[in-house]
Amino acid sequence: MSMEEINLQVYACRKCRLWQDAKHGVPGEGPLNATVMFVGQNPGADEDEQGRPFVGRAGKYLTKTLAEFGIKREDVYITNIVKHTSPQNRKPYPDEVEACLPYLSEQIGIIKPKIIVLLGASAKDTPRVEGIQYFEVIHPSAAMRFTKMRQRFRDQIAELAKKIS
């Protein structure tokens, strides 16, 4: 399957209940030859509105922090485990994760990144593929809110920048 086909399938997907309350599917974005792929848990309200991943406050903070360490957002592929937002941004249920995971697996297969950066809770469910390095970081929304986490998050992004330089 091509990335375009995956995107179209996500837009039309009815495999779990989440599409019902969502405005847009949010398949992900970025270059198909990206070395680094970021995976979050599920899109929030801003992402649902725009149909794009990590464009709300946390996404802007992530983009800004990456840039401070020399990583351009447009060079990385960004997506989520679950491709539609959830009511009141609740945590996706296990059956929703299970229904949606094949899309992420296909995306990983197309991009074949060197490193997958796991943002917050996404670490638990993201499929592990041999030959790919996995790097867990604090979710940017937690880093924005708590000073101690902010410093740790910045240290982690600095470490990531070193890994890919």
* Contact between residue 36 and residue 73 where contact means Cβ atoms under 8 Å apart: no
Closer to ligand SF4 by Cβ: residue 55 or 96 = 96
Report the DSSP beta bridge partners of residue 119: 137
Min. distance of Cβ 34 from ligand SF4 in angstroms? 21
Min. distance of Cβ 119 from ligand SF4 in angstroms? 17
Min. distance of Cβ 20 from ligand SF4 in angstroms? 8
Of the CA atoms within 13 Å of residue 72, those in its CB half-sphere come to 5
Closer to ligand SF4 by Cβ: residue 83 or 139 = 83
Closer to ligand SF4 by Cβ: residue 25 or 53 = 25
Min. distance of Cβ 43 from ligand SF4 in angstroms? 9
Of the CA atoms within 13 Å of residue 8, those in its CB half-sphere come to 5
Question: How many angstroms separate the first and last alpha carbons of the chain?
Answer: 31
* Contact between residue 21 and residue 48 where contact means Cβ atoms under 8 Å apart: no
Residues that bind ligand SF4 (CB under 6 A): 10, 13-16, 18-19, 25, 82-84, 96, 99-100
